[in-house]
Structure 1
Amino acid sequence: MTMYLTRFSYTPETWKRLIANPEDRRKAATAYVESVGGKLHGFWYAYGSHDGLTLWEAPDNVSMAAVVLAIGSGGAVTNLETTVLLTVEEAMEAMGKAQGISYRPPAAS
């Protein structure tokens, strides 16, 4: 299965609700990804450009996209970004394949 890193921010209204009624959102995140055959590996809150991060795996990009679309459509998060993560072996395989690609920069002769 493929690993994914999702970064998100809560809306001010979501923070207001969580402050009034603190909730462990790992349970919800686990249910979302397990519904497509995946697994939550971690859920963290952060200070910076995003309020939180999740690390999860899913069987394929379509399944993970479905999870992210469902979360994003709920209106509680903003700045939702998901990155597909490659293993070192996958990155090395890509580097090997890149050797056979002849790239020409735009407007280069």
Structure 2
Amino acid sequence: MRSLLIKSPRQLFIAAILFLIVLAVAVFAYQYTWQSPEAIVKINVTNHGVSLPDGFFLYQHLSAEGITIKSITSDSDSLIISFNSIEDSHAAEKVLKRILDNSYRIE
């Protein structure tokens, strides 16, 4: 019966390469699986002719509620508000739904 031990330098090299590949796949899978969801809220306009809300207006209302904002950026047709935590993003969604009318979709 043949031994499963590595007997030549070539076998050692191949085993090392395979180990590194498996390690890289495991690290990628771990990061992908345990990556926390992004703490963002996206505001889109639902009706044509309605402009996006002012970022400073939103900042004032969210700050008054004790919600910490990381950044507010505009995309082509939306505003993206980033937060430090998922809890802040959920709280912000509730506040934004209260202060903005049905012309806006909050995700």
Instruction: Give TM-score, length-normalised by structure 1.
Output: 0.46
Instruction: Give TM-score, length-normalised by structure 2.
Output: 0.46
Look at both structures and tell me which one has the larger radius of gyration over its CA atoms: 2
